[in-house]
Every structure is written in structure tokens, then in C-alpha cells.
Amino acid sequence: MFNFLVTASKGAWDFPGYEYDRSRFLEYTSDDIAASFQELKEPQLKALMELPCLFAYEGTRESMRVGRLKVKLRNDGRSLYVEPLIDESIAPIDFAQIKPLQLALDIRDWEINRTHWAIKDEDLFEVLRRANLVPSNAGSSKVAKADLPPASTPEFQANSVGAFIEHVFRLNHDGREVFYRGHSNSKKYRLEPSIFRKDERGNFIYRDVEDRMYRELLVSNSMDFGGDIYTLDRLVRMQHYSLPSRLLDITSNPLIGLYFACKSNLDQDGEVIVLSMDRGQIKYFDSDTASCIANLTRVSKESKDSIDFSSNDVRKFNKQKPIKQLLHFIKEEKPFFEGRLDPRHLRSVICVKGKHTNSRIAFQSGAFLLFGDEAILDEGGTPDIAVNRIAVTNKKKVLQELDQLSINESTVFPYIENSAKYIAQKFAFQEADPLL
């Protein structure tokens, strides 16, 4: 295994340190490896520092370097500070020499054109040795996939509705407002909206075409969105119809969270994530901050990628062309909006209570987490959003108990086709258990 680090900052690997935005970490990294690094604590940081590194620049003109690194998580949890330790015994490697080795190193063509940090499940030194690009006595990786830190597991496990609710009542949130989200596979799913999800190899599935998907659905179903005032309203409706978006569904009803943790992947343990936050941080459908973040959906990938967040000068930030375009979209729905965007807001994760525009959202007591530009919600929580986890086992029994409380497919998804499906399953012939 090895770290593959790419940057657009010229000469970055010659400097004492470099900072990666946490959102760029684990791009183009397979799911099974990424799962070990969702939380970055001492074991994970130690594993990263034991891996060899291939340091690269965006494009094909600059040479790559081999070495290792020191790394630490910044206090805000949003960035990783890297100290490159270049191995001077290994000469710089031209991209032309690496190109024939891309498949062997699992470096995809488009990776070299994006600043990111991937972890590859390949033996860097072995591949480079076979190509005579490093000395025969060059080092090797001390970390194999089996040696990676295990993914964190919840401290509490519930195998019944009663045990789950008892634990929910024991949690102390100090007066904060509480929401829940159920994951049917605790090892696979993360606290990220569908627009940021990746395939098993770490490739973004939808992110690069976000603006096009938004417009295509409006074009083909414009009558359905006729009453929506804000872009957020449209995103809520699109989410309802399963279009990938920046929204992550949450609920104020713990039993709804438990149902979603159990409704599928019956052979896998599920989990309910408990999220708590100060009531003053919760926004509503007409929030200015929500408008700023929601309208990022309408900005093209190229424009979003060109936004420079490095300056603390708000005036300079707002002079950028993509920010002016974003401001134009915001003013379409809020003509009196002040022409000034705060870069911190555009990269944040906020809780939003949207309009209950359909019966599903109403019954599920639905709210949303709205994710800004490349925003991440740390799996262990943040200073603003506290996270607790409850593992869920014995799903079939839990579903039966929830059904007795009228929490089932017919009520959680209150449409006639789901009611018909539920009734058919309920009354279907089932052979008696001979042991009863």
C-alpha cells in the first residue's frame, strides 16, 4: 500500500509543510481501505506515516518524488497538515516514466488533474523496482490491508425496540435538539449526502454532473416544481424522488431512524446515528445560509473547482467569477440579499427544517443536513454537531416489533403502492414452523 498525494501548488513538496483539506482525503480510494480512515485518531495517523508516498503535481510536466510523510490533524478537524520527507536517494521520476505503470499503481488518468490524497492497495516499491526507477535495495511498505486499524464500532448494541429506546432515553444532550439517521450497513454507509458518494474504487458517481442533473429534472418535470420558491425547496422535492443531492435525510423520531437501520441488508448489522446540536444552529427553509449552500447545486463543477477559499479577505473572495455567479442565483430567489458571501458558510454543514411538501417527509418527521462545497461531517462528530452511535442487531425481530407500533413500509412510505406491497406481504401464506 502507498499514499498518492497530488497538488496544484507549484513546488509544494520542496516546502517544510503542506495542508490538505479533509474533503480531498481518500478520493479514489477503495471502500475497504477508506473505512479504516473515516476517523483519524492515533492508530490511523500512525498507519499513514508508515506507508511510502508518491508525491505528484497536477498535470504531466512536473516530476514525482518518492518518500514518506509526517501528518497531523489540524485542531478544526477540517484539514491535514503534511510534512513531506523526500527520499533523496531516489531520483525525481518524470510522468512519462510513470504513465506505463499507472494500471499497476491504480492511478487513473483523471487523478493527475485533481488535488487529492488517495491510499492505494499496491506495492509502490515493487512496481518501481521492476521498472528500474528505484534502487534494488529501496524500502517497502510495512503496512498491509490486514494491518489497517479497524473501523470504529458503537459502544452500545440494541437487539430490540425496548433496548434501543431505553438507551435513547439514557443519552444526555444538555438541552440540545436531537435528530436520528439509520444506516442498514454500519460498515458501508457514511454521514455524507448522495451527491458526494463514491463507487467501490473511490470514484465520485454524481458530483461532477450535479448542476446538469438538477436542470434535467426541472426540464423534464417542470410542472411538479411550479410552486417552489427556493432552490432548497426544489432540492427537497428532488431528494424525495431519489435524485442525488446535497441533502442528507435525518429525522426527529428515533423509531424512524431505527426502521431505516433495519429495513434492508438483513444479514448486516445496522446502526442509528444520534445527532445533537444547539437549537440556535438549526436553519429553516427561508434561511439565507441555506440559500447560499443550496444554490451551489446550480454552479458547474469547473466553476466550483476554481473557487479559491485560501484568502481570509471576504472582499477579495466575493470578486471571484464563480462567486458572482452564485450570488446571481441567490438573488433570483432573494432580490434583497446583500451581495456578500462568507466563505465559511459555503463550506459548512447545517441542519435545515424544510417544508413538509409531501406526506413522506411529514410522517418521517423529516429534516436535513445540507452540505456546502466539499463539506464533510466527521464520523465522530464536530464541535457543532455531536454524534453518538447505537449498533442494531437481530433486525427481523426489531422490524416485527416496529410493525406492532405501526412503523412499517406502509406508514413510513405512505403511498398506495407501498401499502399494497405491505398488505400482500402481511397476508402471504407462510408455512408453519414445525417446532412450534
- For residue range 322-347, list pLDDT tens digits in order: 999 999 999 999 999 988 899 989 99
Element (H, E) at 3: strand 2-7
Low-confidence spans in the chain with pLDDT less than 50:
436
Closest CA relative to residue 20, chosen from 303, 345, 344, 374: 374
Task: Evaluate whether 41 touches 96 at the Cβ level (below 8 Å).
Answer: no
C-alpha cell at 338: 446583500
What radius of gyration, in Å, describes the C-alpha atoms of the chain?
24
Measure the CA–CA gap between 368 and 274, rounded to whole angstroms.
Answer: 14
* Identity at 116, one-letter amino acid code: H
C-alpha cell at 93: 521520476
Closest CA relative to residue 263, chosen from 318, 193, 183, 199: 183
Three-state SS across 124-186?
Answer: HHHHHHHCCCCCCCCCCCCCCHHHCCCCCCCCEEECCHHHHHHHHHHCCCCCCEEEEEEECCC
| Sheet arrangement for strand 116-120 | 18-21, 79-86, 65-73, 53-57, 2-7, 116-120
Q: What is the pLDDT of residue 311?
A: 77
At residue 292, what are phi and psi to the nearest 5 degrees? -60, -45
pLDDT tens track for 227-267:
889 999 999 989 888 899 999 999 999 999 999 999 999 99
- Residue 252, SS3? coil
Q: What is the Cβ-side half-sphere exposure of residue 216, based on CA atoms within 13 angstroms?
A: 7
